[in-house]
Structure 1
């Protein structure tokens, strides 16, 4: 009896994860928590149902893309990574690092290119955009530095061609410690432009 209850429990989490992944992939939802709640509602579960963790959603998303979007998603990912390299060249003096879905390989047509930049003042980033006449939106973003420490950092969003570029501006010493990833709850993966180039065009020995 205990085992069957646990099995149903796991099955409901799996069904919610799969539906949330479909919403993310097909409708461009970016808020994993909102996707879980919407998926639970669509499947007839109550809002206080045991929801899957973000890592379970991410796993289901990768599976969905592999099954239903293999060819198109691969092409979109390559295009986004190429655009990310262009943006990183533009911000080269601020030691840009690629993060998020474009780095992790789960990006789709709805995904922004997310960069971390390192400057002691957000005005440095604004000046670079102003030089090119690039309009932007400025806001702040909550960042989890570790299990107990949050901070808010300036973030800018702008458009380059058909792509949305989303940058978070860290202090210069922020390069030493990556913030926590909202999915894995471990330090976020960051990639330099050389590492992104390797993803695009791995050497034969890799």
Structure 2
């Protein structure tokens, strides 16, 4: 086997091991999972480590293989929770991001979305109006040209599902932060796009069940 093929095979092996670690241990930190996988395999050279995207794809494969229909049903339920929350905060142009969007998440990990407002207080008022108790914090994001900025985050439970609202300035709708997995602009999915996603998934599931 040529060196390039060996390297590719090693990266695949580490990707699936990192994915297994993340799913089994409920981790969300890709770097931590990759380090664990590499340590178990005795691979110190980071050039042989898989990318975050490769690990993310391996998580999807792992969940499909080992969870089967349960993976689809939980993903659908999570996205329904996301859509419900997005409709509540429709005035802030919500965008679904993170694991609920990519399909790698679960109900325990919850929903993450961007809201766009020039004043974080407006989101606080919306929470108060709906009698939603929340916890406040900050999230740091990277932007192009190496910039980094912190933004307000409001967390609450919708039933038993954690929801995270990250408030970005209005003009960031066109200039969002970088996705921590892909390093591309994290544009997310709008209400209409999540609705379409759910409709297509439901259609595909009915087709598979009817085969």
Q: Aligned-pair distance for 1:110? A: 3.2
Q: Aligned-pair distance for 1:190? A: 1.5
Residue aligning to 2:109: 111
Matches within 5 A, 1:81-160: 81-160=79-158
**Structure 1 alignment gaps of length 5 or more:** none
Q: Aligned-pair distance for 1:43? A: 2.7
Q: Aligned-pair distance for 1:189? A: 3.7
Q: Aligned-pair distance for 1:71? A: 0.9
Which one of the candidate residues 167, 174, 177 is aligned to 1:179? 177
For residues 119 and 108 of structure 2, what CA distance do their matches in structure 1 show?
30
For residues 32 and 174 of structure 2, what CA distance do their matches in structure 1 show?
32
Secondary structure of 1:197's aligned partner: helix
Contact 1:37–1:47 (CA under 8 A) maintained in structure 2: no
TM score, norm. by length of structure 2: 0.86
Secondary structure of 2:157's aligned partner: strand
Contact 1:99–1:116 (CA under 8 A) maintained in structure 2: yes
Secondary structure of 1:201's aligned partner: helix
For residues 44 and 155 of structure 1, what CA distance do their matches in structure 2 show?
38
**Structure with the higher helix share, 1 or 2:** 2
Can you list the C-alpha shifts for 1:23-64, whole angstroms capped at 9, x where unaligned?
122221000001111122233334867321101101211211
**Structure 2 alignment gaps of length 5 or more:** 204-211
Contact 1:98–1:114 (CA under 8 A) maintained in structure 2: yes
Moved more, 100-109 or 151-160: 100-109
CA change 1:116–1:55 in 2 (3 A) is same
Can you list the C-alpha shifts for 1:50-87, whole angstroms capped at 9, x where unaligned?
32110110121121122112211100111111111110
Secondary structure of 1:155's aligned partner: strand
Contact 1:178–1:190 (CA under 8 A) maintained in structure 2: no
For residues 18 and 72 of structure 1, what CA distance do their matches in structure 2 show?
20
Q: Aligned-pair distance for 1:127? A: 1.8
Residue aligning to 1:191: 189
CA change 1:113–1:142 in 2 (3 A) is same
Q: Aligned-pair distance for 1:138? A: 1.5
Q: Aligned-pair distance for 1:198? A: 0.8
TM score, norm. by length of structure 1: 0.88
Residue 9 of structure 2 is aligned to residue 11 of structure 1: yes
Residue aligning to 1:79: 77
Moved more, 121-130 or 67-76: 121-130
Contact 2:151–2:168 (CA under 8 A) maintained in structure 1: yes
